[in-house]
Structure 1
Amino acid sequence: MSQPTSGAPAATRGRRDAAMLAAGSTVAGILAYVFFALVIRALGAGPAAPVAVLWAWWGFAGAALTFPVQHWIARTAATAAGEASVRRGLPPVATAVVGVSALAGVLSWLARERLFGPEGGWFPILVLLVGVGSGLLGLLRGLQSARGRFGAVAAGLVVENGIRCLAAVVLVLAGSHTPVFYGLALVAGYAVAALWPRALSPRADGHGRGVGPMLFVSGASTGQLMAQVTLTGGPVLLAAIGGAPATVTALFAGLALFRAPYTLALGLVAALTGRLTSLVERRRWSTLTRIRRIGGLTTLVAAAAGGVAGAWLGPPAMELVFGQGVRLAPGDAALVAVGTVVAMANLVLTLGLLARNRSGAVVAAWLIAAPFGAAAHMLVSQDPLSSTCWTFLVVEAVAFVVLVAWESRSDRLVGRQEHRGAEGQVTTGEEPGLGS
């Protein structure tokens, strides 16, 4: 179990970790876009469609499998239960990952022609492998984070997508025009786990009596999957309600551009779960409250700045990156920019609740936010594109408010339980309550 030390060395290490994770996430994100650009240029927009579908599943598998496994391990190892509890809980978690991956593979096989075309028979196997590989990366990053090896986490992010790019370059130079080979190149990125074999085996540190992992993992998986759908599902919703193809493409491009900081944040927060859990374990409620207040204020300021920058710089930046005519109106660009800023805050709040072992509250927040998004979609604007942008922003904003409320409520309840427990210990000799 790793515990952060106090004072200047810990602050210096924290800045170093953040810098490494930021650099690794940035390079990895660039390499991911390079890989897909190579696929499109090698195959053409039409034939590359099966790889695009696999790529979409890769994103959802990262949210539903990598994220919960990684942060379950990081949180558990930061408690007194230690890595021994991870070792005890790993078999059911691994079984669940394989089961979800197999189910996704079977469903994609049943719909293989619709999803991958008449020659996409091998892609359901790749779907299964992407799911298993995503769970494997969760194990790798979780144990590396638990051991404070954030340089290795950053390096792994880069090497993973570097392998994919290298495999795609080899295929391009060989003149390959077979989509399944480029799908295999995507799967090849998971070979990065072989570089750190010791980070795939939990140690026997700690007493091992942690809470059951499946409730935590399933809640974190569902919550993060819902967050991912909110963040990336706008173009699908717009197409479903009859949006023009050009506006669907523009919304996809706008979300991809403004989502870049969020993608960077996914790598940066690798160090956050363990540190927040340590604060929770040490009952540092005043520090946690201060973090929540600073985070809320920062979100409001960043959202205002993001809205202005999105309206002013967003449309020309979209044309610069994606080509002439691919742009959103300034108002729509502002909505997407603000929504993405709030999405980043929701990611941090999610980790705060996971550190408090409140994964169910994360799911509840998104379930509460969804009807507000539906109401906004029907009432705010008659234009399909604008109504979709408003839906995205409203869901993110309501989820933000609910996540803050849940986090605050959790701290107050635990504080009251401990206060009552302390009084009981003084008056009756009972043990103090330690609800988490």
Structure 2
Amino acid sequence: MCRYRRSISATTDPSGPSPAARPRGPGARRLVGSAGIGVVVSGLLVNVYLAVVARALTPAEYATFGAFWALALVLGFGPFLPLEQELARRLSLRESRRQVLLAGAATAAGLGVLALVVLLAASPVVASSLDRDPWAFGALVALCVVSAGQFLLRGVLIGTDRLVRHGAVMVLDALLRLGLAVVLLVVGGRQASLYCWALVAAIAAAHLPLLPAAWRRAEREVTVVAPDPARHGTRALAGTATPLLVGSVCAQLLLNGLPVVVVALADGSAQAAAGVFVAAFTLAKAPLSMVVPLQSAVVPTLTRLLAAGRRRQVLRLLGKGAAALAGLAVVGVPLAWWLGPPIVTLVFGGEYRIAGAQLAVIVAGVLAHVGLVVVTQVHVARDRHVDVAASWLAGLVVAAVMFWLVPGVVVAGEVAFGVGSAVGAVVSAVLLLRTHTAADGIVTEGTAT
């Protein structure tokens, strides 16, 4: 007798699914040529916008705006990015789209209420980080409402393969932010709260007017009825998005929560240093302003690849990405140490000075964070949302421990971000390899004569 193995993939059909059976959708070239370009352009514009704001404000005022910016990302991407990702995945299946849209709208409203509750519960810490400016706090309240429509639109555009439109909306958003900031600079706006409200207005103007047309177009497209009527209901969508919500909130706390904590804990003498840290950190994480918005756009493509049984191709792509990130770290970290401080001073002004070693730590953390973002999107496409939550939670917990152990609030924030991101990336990669091996390995074992 001899033992035999049977893989979970169809060994009876070595060629895999036929071309006709594979889901059709945009290829990688179209993805890079549309959403990718839009995200890159908008990311560059956003960094110009942040430099304009820094030029308009003193370091102490910029610390307040930087805290608002970080909180805006936490309250925006944190609760609502899972909605965008899950809408992108479900709408790309072309099943019961009207039901998916209605469930998405209901979930967006619920997430908006949740964001407001969290904001009010954390108001003592938030108010402290915003220098107790009631107008800046009011802008955060408005942002919770606007973000619901913003991410609902983005999920609809991505899920219906409107990647060119998605990129154009992001560029429009960035242009409006920059234009309003320039106007405030010219008229002499020197209060951080003015720029906070201008940011909320730009997001609303770029996204909300386009939502009705995108909704109607998604409804008109031919779709099939889901085999299970409850498959795309509000409860099902919210249920699958819950682990993503945990992961997304942890991700935003790791990326954008640390600057808020640094500003909140910095005393009077360290307030200016905290503002310099926020400015330098914002500049160093510029690549993430391009990678983070793009992550949902790759979910439909990854979903189609995995549905076609091309798991090994996805792993090969991840391997190439890891090698590219390692190469960037070898080159980028020493350059950040050497050239980073004068670049920060050039961009933000002579009052913004930071040590090269601190910038090197931040850049290394940014590259690790990029790797964590990329790997977790494979988990999303594989419908393993719990692994997404576990990866980000591990990174956040390690970051909290490092922040507590390292002396000096600014240095602690830098080290915590880098180490937490690196540990999260390692945990996510291990989970991916473990579950991939389980999927492609031995699933049944028997005997044959």
Structure 1 and Structure 2 fold alike (TM over 0.5):
yes
Partner of 1:390: 415
Please state if 1:20 is matched with 2:37: yes
CA distance in 1, matches of 2:61, 2:415: 33
Cα distance change, pair 126–352 in 1 and its aligned pair in 2 (3 A): same
Please state if 1:140 is matched with 2:127: no
Partner of 1:149: 162
In structure 2, give the amino acid aligned to 1:227: A
In structure 1, give the amino acid aligned to 2:378: G
The residue correspondences of 1:260-299 to structure 2 (distance < 5 A) are: 260-299=286-325
Partner of 1:314: 340
The residue correspondences of 1:414-425 to structure 2 (distance < 5 A) are: 414-415=439-440, 420=444
User: Which one of 428, 432, 444 corresponds to residue 403 of structure 1?
Assistant: 428
Please state if 1:97 is matched with 2:111: yes
Identity of aligned residues (%): 23
User: Which one of 209, 221, 228 corresponds to residue 252 of structure 2?
Assistant: 228
CA distance in 1, matches of 2:122, 2:407: 35
Contact 2:80 2:148 in 1 (8 A): yes
CA distance in 1, matches of 2:283, 2:114: 30
Partner of 1:205: 223
Cα distance change, pair 267–238 in 1 and its aligned pair in 2 (3 A): closer
CA displacement, residues 391-412 of structure 1 (integer Å, 9 cap, x when unaligned):
2221111100111112223333
CA distance in 1, matches of 2:317, 2:128: 47
CA distance in 1, matches of 2:60, 2:407: 32
Please state if 1:300 is matched with 2:326: yes
CA distance in 1, matches of 2:415, 2:131: 34
In structure 2, give the amino acid aligned to 1:26: G
CA distance in 2, matches of 1:303, 1:236: 26
CA distance in 1, matches of 2:274, 2:186: 33
SS in 1 for 2:313: helix
Partner of 1:61: 75
Cα distance change, pair 200–103 in 1 and its aligned pair in 2 (3 A): farther
88-97 or 177-186, larger mean C-alpha shift: 177-186
CA distance in 2, matches of 1:30, 1:400: 25
CA displacement, residues 355-384 of structure 1 (integer Å, 9 cap, x when unaligned):
1122222221233334444554566x6666
Cα distance change, pair 238–36 in 1 and its aligned pair in 2 (3 A): closer
Partner of 1:79: 93
Cα distance change, pair 166–384 in 1 and its aligned pair in 2 (3 A): closer
Cα distance change, pair 49–260 in 1 and its aligned pair in 2 (3 A): closer
Instruction: Figure out how many residues of one structure are paired with residues of the other and give that number.
Output: 413
In structure 1, give the amino acid aligned to 2:212: P
Partner of 2:210: 195
User: Which one of 211, 214, 231 corresponds to residue 238 of structure 2?
Assistant: 214
SS in 2 for 1:260: coil
Q: CA deviation at 1:179?
A: 6.8
Cα distance change, pair 377–55 in 1 and its aligned pair in 2 (3 A): closer
The residue correspondences of 1:114-133 to structure 2 (distance < 5 A) are: 120=134, 125-133=138-146
Contact 1:377 1:387 in 2 (8 A): yes
Structure 2 residue ranges without an equivalent (≥5): 1-21
User: Which one of 25, 36, 46 corresponds to residue 29 of structure 1?
Assistant: 46
Cα distance change, pair 356–85 in 1 and its aligned pair in 2 (3 A): farther
Contact 1:350 1:362 in 2 (8 A): yes
Partner of 2:7: none
Cα distance change, pair 386–165 in 1 and its aligned pair in 2 (3 A): closer
Contact 1:336 1:389 in 2 (8 A): yes
CA displacement, residues 190-214 of structure 1 (integer Å, 9 cap, x when unaligned):
1222135322354272334446211
CA distance in 2, matches of 1:261, 1:56: 16
Q: CA deviation at 1:261?
A: 0.9
Cα distance change, pair 18–113 in 1 and its aligned pair in 2 (3 A): closer
In structure 1, give the amino acid aligned to 2:342: P
Q: CA deviation at 1:311?
A: 1.5
Q: CA deviation at 1:109?
A: 7.0
Cα distance change, pair 177–326 in 1 and its aligned pair in 2 (3 A): closer
Contact 1:108 1:124 in 2 (8 A): no
User: Which one of 275, 288, 304 corresponds to residue 249 of structure 1?
Assistant: 275
Cα distance change, pair 173–386 in 1 and its aligned pair in 2 (3 A): closer
Q: CA deviation at 1:32?
A: 3.7
Cα distance change, pair 245–355 in 1 and its aligned pair in 2 (3 A): same
Q: CA deviation at 1:342?
A: 0.9
CA distance in 2, matches of 1:94, 1:160: 20
CA distance in 2, matches of 1:236, 1:106: 16
406-415 or 367-376, larger mean C-alpha shift: 367-376
Contact 1:70 1:139 in 2 (8 A): yes
144-153 or 156-165, larger mean C-alpha shift: 156-165
Q: CA deviation at 1:341?
A: 0.7
Contact 1:108 1:127 in 2 (8 A): no
CA displacement, residues 43-78 of structure 1 (integer Å, 9 cap, x when unaligned):
x66677776554333211232134222111111122
CA displacement, residues 123-165 of structure 1 (integer Å, 9 cap, x when unaligned):
5553332112112111111111122222211211122233344
CA distance in 2, matches of 1:59, 1:249: 18
271-280 or 71-80, larger mean C-alpha shift: 71-80
In structure 1, give the amino acid aligned to 2:225: H
Q: CA deviation at 1:178?
A: 7.7
Contact 1:143 1:200 in 2 (8 A): yes
In structure 2, give the amino acid aligned to 1:392: F
CA distance in 2, matches of 1:59, 1:146: 22
86-95 or 232-241, larger mean C-alpha shift: 232-241
TM, length-normalised to structure 2? 0.78
